[in-house]
């Protein structure tokens, strides 16, 4: 019977965390490990994982990712997580999980690159090490503010302000203190500025639409097409083919397979098509396969 198939049975409910929730837990866990290290282990982890001039001068490029998981204090991580939790769920719902993660860490990388270049040029003004997820979070906020420009944001949970206005204010503050750095303040304004600019570019380029390809998407397919275009075509070989006529499904819709017993018809014809839908989507079906599904639906309707 059709309802006896695995795909027709009710599946048990599973709790699936969003990427925003998962990253929040990871950031908290990493901060807890930082605290344990500072009190008990005393390893020099910051010089390897925080963003330092060595990222470019010594090729420690992984720091552009790892610095986004570290935080300097409880207040530092709390501020970042409040904003991340607030905008993260919205942006993830708009972009989808994969693009959300690319946007988050991509904006963080751009912000980190700008900060690191300035640290190399002028370490006395931009410091020697930077940690925090705020560059990526700034990019997510820029995406949110451009897509929901008229939304009201309650600054410090009290003052209502339009999202786009807050974006402009945040951007101007970050730009000013990048041009006029205040090292004692301990805020990586250049990283914030780079993240904001990356988030703005994300929306302006239309990458928040899932039908707009990211630049690196399809590179493998294009490379494969390039290789095939340079490969000389093989000589055709004569092969025997099996006639599509006979005890199969005919194009007219009155095929003998549709007249098989229900269990056999479902096993031979319907199951492979449902497996194909599961793997490649309903748009992958041929006209013949669609007719088979229609015949199956009519069989079930007569019961």
Average pLDDT of the residues in 256-285: 72
Higher-confidence residue: 35 or 156?
35
Residue 19 has pLDDT above 60, yes or no: yes
CA separation for the pair 129, 184 (Å, rounded): 13
User: For 152, phi and psi rounded to 5 degrees?
Assistant: -85, 130
Q: What is the mean pLDDT of residues 13-39?
A: 93
State the pLDDT at residue 144. 98
Instruction: Read off the DSSP letter of residue 10.
Output: P
| Cα atoms in the 13 Å half-sphere on the side-chain side of 206 | 5
Mean pLDDT over 159-166 rounds to 95
Superfamily of the domain at 19-218: Rhomboid-like (1.20.1540.10)
230: which 2 tokens? 């340079």
Residue with tokens 């899932």: 210
Helices 97-121 and 19-36, axial angle in degrees (round to 10)? 40
Domain assignments of the chain as residue spans, ordered by start: 19-218, 247-301
Structure confidence by residue, pLDDT tens digits, 208-235: 998 898 998 878 777 777 777 777 766 6
Q: Which residues partner with 51 through β-bridges?
A: 130
What CA–CA distances, in Å, run from 295 to 165, 272, 276, 301? Answer: 58, 15, 17, 10
Report whether pLDDT(105) > 50.
yes
Tokens 């982890």 appear where? Answer: 45
**What average pLDDT does the segment 30-51 reach?**
95
């Amino acid at each position: 019977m059709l309802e006896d198939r695995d795909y027709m049975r009710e599946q048990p409910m599973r709790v699936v965390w969003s990427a925003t929730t998962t990253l929040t837990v990871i950031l908290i866990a990493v901060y807890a490990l930082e605290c344990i290290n500072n009190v008990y282990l005393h390893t020099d982890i910051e010089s390897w994982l925080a963003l330092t001039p060595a990222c470019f001068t010594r090729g420690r490029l992984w720091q552009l990712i790892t610095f986004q998981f570290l935080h300097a204090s409880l207040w530092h991580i709390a501020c970042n997580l409040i904003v991340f939790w607030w905008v993260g769920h919205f942006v993830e719902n708009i972009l989808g999980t994969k693009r959300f993660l690319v946007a988050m860490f991509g904006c963080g990388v751009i912000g980190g690159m700008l900060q690191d270049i300035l640290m190399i040029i002028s370490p006395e003004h931009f410091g020697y090490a930077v940690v925090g997820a705020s560059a990526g979070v700034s990019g997510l906020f820029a995406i949110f503010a451009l897509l929901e420009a008229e939304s009201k944001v309650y600054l410090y949970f009290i003052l209502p302000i339009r999202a786009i206005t807050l974006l402009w204010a945040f951007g101007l503050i970050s730009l000013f203190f990048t041009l006029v750095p205040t090292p004692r303040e301990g805020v990586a304004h250049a990283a914030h500025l780079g993240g904001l600019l990356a988030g703005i570019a994300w929306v302006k380029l239309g990458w928040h639409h899932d039908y707009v390809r990211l630049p690196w998407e399809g590179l493998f397919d294009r490379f494969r097409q390039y290789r095939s275009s340079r490969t000389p075509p093989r000589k055709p070989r004569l092969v025997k083919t099996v006639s599509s006529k006979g005890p199969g499904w005919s194009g007219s819709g009155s095929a003998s397979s549709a007249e098989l017993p229900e269990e056999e018809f479902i096993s031979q014809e319907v199951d492979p098509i449902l497996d194909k839908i599961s793997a490649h989507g309903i748009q992958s079906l041929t006209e013949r396969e669609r007719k088979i599904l229609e015949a199956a639906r009519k069989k079930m309707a007569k019961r």
